[in-house]
Structure 1
């Protein structure tokens, strides 16, 4: 699709520079049944590396139900990385053709909204997916810049928490999980025993998505929002302190398995599931299906992650509300789609109470459907639900995707140093300065657009 204004094109090109997060599918129904006989809806979804076989089965099951309801077929397309997703979004937005439906990680929603390439939902659109009151209000927190201008329809909620091995903590004389990052490091040292291959913390330094979230959390908890109006604050001392703390678990405290320098999140989950870690960091309820079939079944619990920044005695500002980013997946409909009714019908199906509970049972993610969420009774999930209430949205700016990528790239560029056992301070400062420069440039472009 060719955009009518240069401002819109500028917004698209800003978004094209962004590395995206998870993707998925959506659709709806328009009051009555939608006749889609002979038609095909295209849905872009991120590959679920943890549950690939189950995802294929879910595709088949939802496709059959959608066919029965509308007569239309669904073609699920997948992407395997942020760069893959970036290419698909860029190509589709600029050309005006591609998937009808995208599932976006919440942190990408502001960038997607800024492109003006996805449907800004009207009251009628919300009715087509069952009404706005179908959804947990907290899940709507990053659907758009305000309640009247929203593009993202909540699909699942994925607040980040930490899991802990109750037996390992008890054996180390630890009565309750840490509530500050300093306390967490102290506990992790007590839990670490390299002779047995047991470490205090499990996390993946080479994960494509998680590292920046630690830096965001520690910085916000220290009173630095990272984006202050039109000013980026990655050069604030709190950001350097956050990286030093995060890297220090591996290089100084030595409470992380040295192999973690090459781990993704799935490797960290596997280590915890094998009973080789006291804590599993930056995880979600999506780890439940794996852990319930592992050596730690019945021996683990979840807790909110610390909300007091490193070196601090208490959270600053609204840091106590930053236990997690406001996380999950939002479903958006491409503005160029000629099958919007089918798209909304699909979204209505997958956000129904029944399908949300089915998805939660298979993949572990919390429902965005309010009734489905309220019906969950598993006590293990209470800390996860609590974390959802203590989640803070990342800044709603079209530049956030670039800023997020810049934060992640500091870790990516530090991996060689981490492999050698230390991160040079001057090198770290140079990487942060580069991230600040690139992120501020993106923020400036977003402001002009």
Structure 2
């Protein structure tokens, strides 16, 4: 192992113990004498049956084409996702193909454990121009150093109940965070709430803080310096927590909700907004009481406490979000891995995945077929106004540090209050963890 890889592994090891080995090793032999390609992918807790059906269909199709079975292994949180990458880097074995979130791609890149994509690799999967250009924005640090092959796009928006807003005299959805709070108060009465928020989700909370902070002109990472104790970050957390503890526009049960639970609550028809969702939420909403009574809208792009973005603020409507496919450099079956990547990024497979699970295609031709769906226009606008998180190997630890502030605050939120002293203490710990990660990162 080279010095650079060693440094990265040491840095990664601080986030979790590296004692567990992955159950699946790259390129296993199947029991019938054939090969098995191992794939690590995020679990889909919102549509688990459809997700299992998709996995089986892909495995069956790939086996028919190549004689190789596909075995899927899943992760359910960013922490678990990071640990899976860590164990594979250390052991030099594990999945052949990884489907990782865009924000984890920089950390994966920093390990040096994944195939860098040259002309030959792009040709094997159908060419770089097969993909929506914006989805390539976090495939690597620059155009010539890339490991991430875009699979699906997931720009974030909010959904609102058109009937409830109309009944409350609200002409259009909020465009600033303060306006969203005001509208949520108008919408909250009896057993009706203004907002559905997934405070206990494994992935959602930090996205609010990142967006509000960027809009206020604080990028969280500036060169080699973490900025998690900036006043803009504290204001973001106060706003996010305040919907529950101060404004009281969120169902108290939301302190224990994951994203699918927040969407399910909104789908019952007694909530004005679900504060963070994507095109994936449409299926659940159309199966609920809000069918025909909801629309997507951009998340607010003006920071809390302001009526307009400051001069140095960024119109960050969403993180550059989705999943990238990475091929492990240690894999003994790289050609098969790229064949699988080609299969699941081709137009038909992308549209099938969209129909089953709601993730927008990264395939340009597939996405073009969806242009006539008027409900997706705000999602498309969010994609255009998405901003990539910093491309640093430290970002995974920074993302977890931001999430941990919320995790540690859940008991206080469940009790209905959170003091400034508690928040300050947790932000100090997050700043220390983030700065340490940046100091270790090359």
Normalising by the residue count of structure 1, what TM-score does the alignment of the two structures yield? 0.93
Q: Contact 2:206 / 2:402 at 8 angstroms: preserved in 1?
A: yes
Match of 1:346 in 2: 340
Match of 2:52 in 1: 56
State yes or no: 1:9 paired with 2:6: yes
Following superposition, the deviation at residue 387 of structure 1 comes to 0.3
- Map 1:33-44 to 2 at 5 A: 38-44=34-40
Q: Contact 1:199 / 1:278 at 8 angstroms: preserved in 2?
A: yes
Structure 1 residue matching 2:41: 3-state secondary structure? strand
State yes or no: 1:399 paired with 2:394: yes
Indicate which of 309, 314, 328 corresponds to 1:315: 309
- Structure 1's 161 and 124: CA in aligned 2 closer, same or farther, altered over 3 A? same
Indicate which of 86, 93, 97 corresponds to 1:90: 86
- Measured in 1, the distance between the counterparts of 2:160 and 2:9 equals 42
Indicate which of 166, 172, 175 corresponds to 1:176: 172
- Measured in 1, the distance between the counterparts of 2:330 and 2:312 equals 40
Indicate which of 256, 260, 278 corresponds to 2:254: 260
- Measured in 2, the distance between the counterparts of 1:13 and 1:203 equals 36
Structure 1 residue matching 2:93: 3-state secondary structure? coil
Following superposition, the deviation at residue 17 of structure 1 comes to 4.2
Indicate which of 373, 380, 385 corresponds to 2:367: 373
Following superposition, the deviation at residue 18 of structure 1 comes to 4.9
- Measured in 2, the distance between the counterparts of 1:325 and 1:16 equals 26
Structure 2 residue matching 1:321: 3-state secondary structure? coil
Following superposition, the deviation at residue 67 of structure 1 comes to 1.3
State yes or no: 1:46 paired with 2:42: yes
Following superposition, the deviation at residue 77 of structure 1 comes to 1.5
Structure 1 residue matching 2:114: 3-state secondary structure? coil
Match of 2:144 in 1: 148
Following superposition, the deviation at residue 320 of structure 1 comes to 4.7
- Map 1:76-155 to 2 at 5 A: 76-155=72-151
Q: Contact 2:214 / 2:314 at 8 angstroms: preserved in 1?
A: no
- Measured in 2, the distance between the counterparts of 1:240 and 1:178 equals 22
- Measured in 2, the distance between the counterparts of 1:16 and 1:257 equals 38
Q: Contact 1:366 / 1:373 at 8 angstroms: preserved in 2?
A: yes
Match of 1:285 in 2: 279
Structure 2 residue matching 1:278: 3-state secondary structure? strand
State yes or no: 1:364 paired with 2:358: yes
Following superposition, the deviation at residue 317 of structure 1 comes to 4.7
Stretches of structure 1 that go unaligned for 5 or more consecutive residues are 20-36
Following superposition, the deviation at residue 419 of structure 1 comes to 1.4
- Measured in 1, the distance between the counterparts of 2:12 and 2:395 equals 9
- Measured in 2, the distance between the counterparts of 1:293 and 1:249 equals 27
Following superposition, the deviation at residue 291 of structure 1 comes to 0.9
- Measured in 2, the distance between the counterparts of 1:81 and 1:339 equals 27
Match of 2:381 in 1: 386
- Measured in 2, the distance between the counterparts of 1:221 and 1:135 equals 28
- Structure 1's 72 and 332: CA in aligned 2 closer, same or farther, altered over 3 A? same
- Measured in 1, the distance between the counterparts of 2:102 and 2:153 equals 9
- Measured in 2, the distance between the counterparts of 1:111 and 1:17 equals 13
Following superposition, the deviation at residue 326 of structure 1 comes to 0.3
Per-residue CA distance 1:351-377 (angstroms, 9 max, x = gap): 001111111011011100011111102
Following superposition, the deviation at residue 288 of structure 1 comes to 1.0
Per-residue CA distance 1:134-162 (angstroms, 9 max, x = gap): 00000000000001100000000000000
- Map 1:434-449 to 2 at 5 A: 434-446=429-441, 449=442
- Structure 1's 16 and 276: CA in aligned 2 closer, same or farther, altered over 3 A? farther
Match of 1:237 in 2: 231
Per-residue CA distance 1:244-286 (angstroms, 9 max, x = gap): 0001000110000011011111110011000121001110110
Which stretch has the larger CA shift, 123-132 or 77-86? 77-86
Following superposition, the deviation at residue 319 of structure 1 comes to 4.0
- Measured in 2, the distance between the counterparts of 1:69 and 1:316 equals 55
Match of 1:28 in 2: none
- Measured in 2, the distance between the counterparts of 1:279 and 1:191 equals 9
Q: Contact 1:143 / 1:154 at 8 angstroms: preserved in 2?
A: yes
Stretches of structure 2 that go unaligned for 5 or more consecutive residues are 17-32
- Measured in 1, the distance between the counterparts of 2:333 and 2:137 equals 27
Structure 1 residue matching 2:138: 3-state secondary structure? coil
How many residues in Structure 1 have an aligned counterpart in Structure 2?
427
Match of 1:355 in 2: 349
- Structure 1's 345 and 368: CA in aligned 2 closer, same or farther, altered over 3 A? same
Q: Contact 1:230 / 1:444 at 8 angstroms: preserved in 2?
A: yes
Which stretch has the larger CA shift, 210-219 or 412-421? 412-421
Indicate which of 198, 202, 208 corresponds to 2:202: 208
Q: Contact 2:82 / 2:396 at 8 angstroms: preserved in 1?
A: no
Indicate which of 393, 406, 409 corresponds to 2:404: 409
